[in-house]
Structure 1
Amino acid sequence: MKKLLLFALMVCSLLSQNIYACTVISYALKGEVYSAANEDDYMGFARVWFNPKTADRYGSVCFGLPDLQAQAAMNEYGLFYDFTAQNIDPAQFHPKNIYQGDFFFEILGKCKTVKEAMVFLEKYDYAISAQVLIADALGNSVIINAGTKLTKSGAYQINTNFDISKLATKNYSCRRYDISDEALKKAEVLNVPFFRDILSRTRQEGKLSTIYSNIYDLKRKLITVYNFHDFEHPWVIDLKEELAKGYRLEKLSDRFPTSFAYEQFLISDKAMYRKEMILDEIGTKGLQPTLNRYFELGKNTVKKDSTLNGILLEVGIQLVKDSYNQHANGGIWQYWFVLPGGFKIENINDKRINGAGEIFDYLTAEKDIDHKLKNFIFELNAYVKLINGDQKKAKTYYEIASGNSADTWPISFNRSKKMLAIL
């Protein structure tokens, strides 16, 4: 669902459609400072990951989908950001100096305030098609897209799915913005129940649904989380306490009571649902026993499952993403997005990487896989072999993947050629 365009954090969006997804608010009143957001999407299985402080990064918590791009995040100083989908093409503004990495994750790790974030942003052209709201514990906020920077002038700001530059002329149509604005105008005190009411009234249901809702107390570094518009069962995160426990990546729904409505929403995407069930089985029964079971199922010619290979491929990719997220202290798998940092030759000792390698080995031995797809799998397997320290096999697999551009998907061909130039 999300495509990277000049490293576009395509949160809750499809570039080719008018998408009405996500509502983000910041508000400072009488010494209280809050942000709140509904995260809307067509798929569930949201993740939360905690990233402890390092020598060169502030500690933080991130929320997002299985691709592990941070849709929303807050660091240990109360600097917060969240995105909304837009149909703004950054190319029309001719960006030239583009940050070659995970732009906003870098801001999260290096900045304490909106002012510091703006200094960072002045160094680079904003080449992201989503629109972001950044807020801090001092009560400052700003909304930014490729063509506009709008600093908060009153007590609050709202970010929904129209270009914020149109606010001055009222040339927009968004009921979620209007409902939020009407409530915020009347606020006398800020607290969790106040924002919970707004989020409940601006939530979405159906194919495009509110996956989770968050209320951030930026001064106290507390986050109240609700899953799938169930506002009766909050999970309160004390960021300081959680960061002290070390890095971890969790499926967000595991923190909440079982919901029939949420289960039905997830089942609607059968392939994604099966992938996630395999990942859950790995968590409960172990990596190797689970992989062995599915490899045996795949060899069953009597009851051949034609979709299993594709699902196993997605499981393997997810295992690499999850492993790299921990390795990068919460960052994305940059190689996947063809970012410069992803082409460093690194070694990662992680059983998830080994498991992904087993899956890719199994799939490249399969006979009924499309030739281009198989070359894509060889490329991924080359990467896994490389970070496992087997440069010889990695080089062989990269050569297979880049043997003929007509037989390989362009992204896979280009990544393979780039890695071969390095090896």
Structure 2
Amino acid sequence: MRRRAGAWLVLVFIFLGGLVERSYPCTIVMVSKNGLHLAGNNEDWHDLNTWIWFYPPAPGEYGRVCWGHGSGFSVAQGGMNDQGLFVDGNGLSETGWTEDPSKPTFHGPVLDHLLAHCATVEEALKFFEENNVPPLARGKIPIADAAGNSAVVEWGRGKVQLLRRTGHYQISTNFVQSNFDKPEDYPCLRYKAVEQMVTASPSVSLDLVRATLAMTHVEMINPTTYSTICDLGSRRVYLYNFHNFEDPFVIDLTEKLAKGRQEYPIPSLFKIETAAARAYKQQANRRSGFDVFYQMIDRQGLDYFVKRYYEIKGQLRTAHPIDISESEMIRLGKRFLSDGRMAEGIRVLELNAAEDPRSCQARAELGEAYERAGNKEKAVAAYEEAVRLSPDDAELARKLEFLRSLKKE
């Protein structure tokens, strides 16, 4: 793994979901029963430059395998060490995390630190009890060990929450679990689907965990680029590339660490590239909608752009050479707003919001645009929709309350 000064800052940005989108679809499941302790993870992100790194034991550090993305940073996004400790992460919207002035603040790659220095869940939880950990501002950290223990660390209800497993399974997706009083109120369909599958199974097995990951894998904008299942007792890792769960690359961690420090691009470990991976690469190579549509609106006007947008929308997106994804449209709308061209910016963001009625980010950006244009009523309505779609987003809730107070004046 190539280390860089300040790389932990990029970890906060990417592994915890990024600052641009509020859609974080990673799924993590940890199960333990009859002496079998497994932890599985789907890594959902648009970067296909995925890597796996092996660190043999060193003075004061456990040996470990880490996985993540290699474009622009090389910080572990998950892994397992030679003691059978598993850690990973889920991205969240802004949680409202604040520092405790009585504790030191840890500045470094959190997940790699846990793998290097902790052997059990309790040792990892002690680290969170004794330190301020900034990545909790936008993420949560699931942990499991070879003794069958697991926990999820998150910031909820104004403090660090250490959620220890109470049954034979624990699921971690992209919402703040401690913000809800009852499990039936959890807002994540992936969480509920995994729970239903796990509770219906009379036993725990590799096939069960693999089935939960296959069921919850993601395609399109932020696809499942790789998945892992760790057998914490045997120190074996089952690695899957681009949600192809029929072709595992099996790693015996003890044997691998004995060969010294190594690193590999994850796709290079597999002989077959699936049709889904090839299709996504073609999609990733499309022309930027931001570039195309900015020039189009400049030269041919807003009405022509709207007509062309709907023509492209009606075609198969993976086949069309222009990217009209949410991130491209948000970038386009915000550029017009920053240029002082409010009508164009708002129209672009309205089109984007109409495209996906489930997108919190689209409504949050539209609400901000209405606010900048002085339309408080529409701004409040847009933010209300955003909060409805992401009820545990503290930042959005504060913004909505502020706008409501202005509206009353």
Per the normalisation by structure 2, the TM-score is: 0.62
Picking from 258, 263, 268, the partner of 2:278 is 263
1:205 positional shift: 1.0
Supply the AA of the counterpart residue of 1:265.
Y
- Contact 1:77 1:137 (C-alpha < 8 Å) held by counterparts: yes
Q: Which residue of 2 aligns with 1:151?
A: 164
1:172 positional shift: 2.8
1:49 lines up with 2:62 in the alignment: no
Q: Which residue of 2 aligns with 1:35?
A: 39
Task: Report 1:205-216 matches (<5 A).
Answer: 205-216=219-230
Picking from 179, 182, 191, the partner of 1:166 is 179
- Provide runs of 4+ in structure 1 moved above 3 Å: 3-7, 89-96, 267-271
1:117 lines up with 2:105 in the alignment: no
Distance in 1 between residues matched to 2:68 and 2:219, nearest whole Å: 19
Q: Deviations over 1:223-242 (max 9, x none)?
A: 11111111111111110011
Over 3 Å counting, the alpha-carbon distance change for 1:186 and 1:77 in structure 2 is same
Q: Which residue of 1 aligns with 2:212?
A: 198
- Contact 2:8 2:75 (C-alpha < 8 Å) held by counterparts: no
Q: Which residue of 1 aligns with 2:134?
A: 127
1:189 positional shift: 2.2
> Percent identity of the aligned residues?
32
1:260 positional shift: 3.2
Over 3 Å counting, the alpha-carbon distance change for 1:150 and 1:91 in structure 2 is closer
1:58 positional shift: 0.5
- Contact 1:90 1:127 (C-alpha < 8 Å) held by counterparts: no
5+ residue gaps, structure 2, are 1-6, 287-409
Supply the AA of the counterpart residue of 1:76.
D
Q: Deviations over 1:160-196 (max 9, x none)?
A: 0110213532433111101100011122222221111
1:116 positional shift: 1.1
1:104 positional shift: 2.5
Q: Which residue of 2 aligns with 1:22?
A: 26
- Contact 1:210 1:229 (C-alpha < 8 Å) held by counterparts: yes
Q: Deviations over 1:351-371 (max 9, x none)?
A: xxxxxxxxxxxxxxxxxxxxx
1:12 positional shift: 5.6
- Contact 1:9 1:130 (C-alpha < 8 Å) held by counterparts: no
Supply the AA of the counterpart residue of 2:46.
Y
Distance in 1 between residues matched to 2:145 and 2:139, nearest whole Å: 20
Over 3 Å counting, the alpha-carbon distance change for 1:12 and 1:254 in structure 2 is farther
5+ residue gaps, structure 1, are 272-423
Q: Which residue of 1 aligns with 2:91?
A: 85
Q: Which residue of 1 aligns with 2:317?
A: none
1:6 positional shift: 9.6
Q: Deviations over 1:6-63 (max 9, x none)?
A: 9626416122432132100111111111111111112212100000011121000001
Q: Which residue of 1 aligns with 2:375?
A: none
Supply the AA of the counterpart residue of 1:139.
G
Q: Secondary structure at the match of 1:8?
A: helix
Distance in 2 between residues matched to 1:78 and 1:167, nearest whole Å: 31
- Contact 1:75 1:109 (C-alpha < 8 Å) held by counterparts: yes
- Contact 1:214 1:225 (C-alpha < 8 Å) held by counterparts: yes
1:73 positional shift: 0.6
Task: Report 1:174-253 matches (<5 A).
Answer: 174-253=188-267
Q: Deviations over 1:195-239 (max 9, x none)?
A: 111111111111121111111110001111111111111111110
Q: Which residue of 2 aligns with 1:70?
A: 76
Q: Secondary structure at the match of 1:178?
A: helix
- Contact 1:112 1:136 (C-alpha < 8 Å) held by counterparts: yes
- Contact 2:50 2:68 (C-alpha < 8 Å) held by counterparts: yes
Picking from 98, 104, 117, the partner of 2:111 is 104
Q: Secondary structure at the match of 2:79?
A: strand
1:137 lines up with 2:137 in the alignment: no
Q: Deviations over 1:243-277 (max 9, x none)?
A: 11111111001111122321332344449xxxxxx
Distance in 2 between residues matched to 1:181 and 1:226, nearest whole Å: 22
1:94 positional shift: 5.7
Over 3 Å counting, the alpha-carbon distance change for 1:9 and 1:124 in structure 2 is farther
- Contact 2:8 2:109 (C-alpha < 8 Å) held by counterparts: no
Q: Secondary structure at the match of 1:77?
A: coil
1:92 positional shift: 4.3
Q: Deviations over 1:265-320 (max 9, x none)?
A: 2344449xxxxxxxxxxxxxxxxxxxxxxxxxxxxxxxxxxxxxxxxxxxxxxxxx
Supply the AA of the counterpart residue of 1:40.
D
Q: Secondary structure at the match of 1:70?
A: coil
Moved more, 114-123 or 237-246: 114-123
Over 3 Å counting, the alpha-carbon distance change for 1:58 and 1:5 in structure 2 is closer
